[in-house]
Amino acid sequence: MSSNRILRAAVLAALLPAFAAGCTRTELPGLSSANAAPAVQMAARATGTQMLPDFATLVEQNGATVVAISVIKGAATAADETGAAPNADPNDPLQEFLRRFGFPNPGDPRGQRAPRGGEREEQAQGMGSGFIISADGLIITNAHVVDGAKEVTVKLTDKREFKAKVLGSDKRTDVAVIKVEANNLPTVKTGDPSQLRVGEWVAAIGSPFGFENTVTAGIVSAKAREMPDDGFVPFIQTDVAVNPGNSGGPLFNMAGEVIGINSMIYSRSGGYMGLSFAIPIDTALKVKDQLVAHGKVERGRIGVAVQEVTRELADSFKLAKPEGALLGGVEKGSPAEQAGLKAGDVVLGLDGKTVADATALARGIADHKPGDSVQLRVWRDGAARDMTVKVGAAPGEKVAARSEAAPAGKLGISARELTEQERRQLGAEGGVVVEQVAGAAAKAGVQAGDIIVGVGSERVNTVEELKRAVEKGGKVVALRVQRGKAERFVSVPVG
């Protein structure tokens, strides 16, 4: 027996007793339908007072609200002569099982069942999940499920199938809304993700690998997770098993409420490894409302580049603690510039709410519509002030740039003034160019060729101005550095 089959047999052997044990339900004294949660009762084991969730009732009440989605999109690649997808092991018994019974091939990155005999399909098939949010056929799923779709089919648990229309999708949040022509459909209840507690039970329902209405469960592992290159979705992290085909399906709390949309996993193998991420339902519903009304999402922007406030930067700006969003740059002619914001300002509040970090500011501004006015609490020159900014429209997918502060070291810079020709070529209003760098600045990430345009909120145009600004800056200075067309602050200890 191959190692692959041994591993699968071991997994099955481990699962069978666990399944048998999970079928036993014992109610503790005092636990009845009268005092249990209104939507989903709780089961308990006889071993002490530990309460276990009743997933069976949750599924009975909500399973019919979850749909399987199949999509026809672009051209497929040719299969090998065994009918397996590229990179799939033709001797894998699971691959053979799925081929024989017509299920989508998990070895295929598109989630489709590959053709046999080297045949080439003209259209590729994708799959995913979704859930019904209105009785007249509105369904939420992931944008990547329906991206590039030529045809979308929705299958209900009662085996009815409908062709669906894509009302709109938003790649930034990975949320899409589709519509089927039907009435009196079962709908989900939505909950409040802000009330989730790390460690509480949650469950997912979806169609992994085409196995419809599959239930998996786990706990909330973390909240407000930020993914690389994505600062607009505060993901819910869980250890719920999520696989290809689960995308777009609902994540339920134990009150039977949808609190998230299963969207992605983190994996080194391509399969589930215990890290799955869901889009909070409140984020998705805001997107849904705009997609239904306009077919697209409008986001606000004010024209700033933001970065985190480190301990060193907080010291240099005389902040009591590292908080808020530091403005590393302000675009010319932008709403931020028109309102009087400057590079070096630290935004501490937005519309009366604390801005914890750069991500919070980016999300808060993006949630506003163009034309809205927002109130910012800004820290400048050692004091807080209130400023009003009229929000503009974000072009395309870009809302606000992000820049990361480099680690600090010891100051050591040799610089000179820019020539008039260099200023014109670089598009720089002023500043000094770094010729040599060592010690503090080098460790902080300053490079030869960088242009230092300011220290804190003070602009510098000569070497003498740079020296005076550094001397006044205290133990840590925040150098405003231009590299190419981008600007950012770098904190550097002095002395």
pLDDT tens, residue by residue, 220-264: 999 988 876 556 788 999 999 999 899 999 999 999 999 999 998
* Per-residue pLDDT, 432: 85
Euclidean distance between CA atoms 442 and 460, whole angstroms: 20
- Decide if pLDDT at 471 tops 60: yes
Residue 415: how many CB atoms within 10 A of its CB?
23
Euclidean distance between CA atoms 477 and 133, whole angstroms: 52
* Per-residue pLDDT, 408: 30
> In terms of Cα–Cα distance, which of 241, 68, 60, 226 is closest to 157?
68
Label residue 486 by pLDDT band (50, 70, 90). confident
Amino acid of residue 399: V
Alpha helices by DSSP H, listed for 295-357, are 311-316, 335-339
- Decide if pLDDT at 2 tops 80: no
Answer yes or no: 134 catalytic.
no
Q: Identify the residue whose tokens are 């080297």.
A: 118
Which is more confident, 177 or 334? 177
CATH class of 300-402: mainly beta
**Which range scores top for mean pLDDT: 38-42, 102-106, 332-336?**
332-336
* Per-residue pLDDT, 18: 37
SS3 253: strand
DSSP 180-199: ES-SS----EE--GGG--TT
Which position among 129, 247, 263, 276 bears the catalytic label? 247
Q: Where in the chain is the domain with CATH 2.30.42.10?
A: 300-402, 413-493
Query: On the CB side of 154, how many CA atoms lie within 13 Å of its CA?
Result: 29
CATH of domain 36-43+54-74+123-297: 2.40.10.120
CATH class of 413-493: mainly beta
Answer yes or no: 247 catalytic.
yes
Helix (H) or strand (E) run with residue 363 in it: helix 358-366
Across the chain, mean pLDDT equals 77
Which position among 108, 170, 174, 357 bears the catalytic label? 174
Question: How does strand 401-402 pair with strand 304-308?
Answer: parallel
Phi-psi region of 374 (alpha: psi -120 to 50; beta: other; left: phi over 0): beta
Q: Where in the chain is the domain with CATH 2.40.10.120?
A: 36-43+54-74+123-297
Answer yes or no: 294 catalytic.
no
Percent of the chain with pLDDT over 90: 39
- Decide if pLDDT at 88 tops 80: no
- pLDDT per residue over 137-155, tens digit each? 999 999 999 998 899 999 9
Label residue 119 by pLDDT band (50, 70, 90). very low
- Decide if pLDDT at 178 tops 90: yes
Label residue 74 by pLDDT band (50, 70, 90). low
- Decide if pLDDT at 193 tops 50: yes
Label residue 211 by pLDDT band (50, 70, 90). very high
DSSP 166-183: EEEEETTTTEEEEEES-S
Query: On the CB side of 442, how many CA atoms lie within 13 Å of its CA?
Result: 9
Question: How does strand 189-190 pair with strand 257-265?
Answer: parallel
Label residue 118 by pLDDT band (50, 70, 90). very low
Euclidean distance between CA atoms 258 and 203, whole angstroms: 9
Which position among 92, 144, 230, 267 bears the catalytic label? 144
> In terms of Cα–Cα distance, which of 489, 426, 432 is closest to 460?
432
Strands (E), 421-464: 432-437, 451-455, 458-459
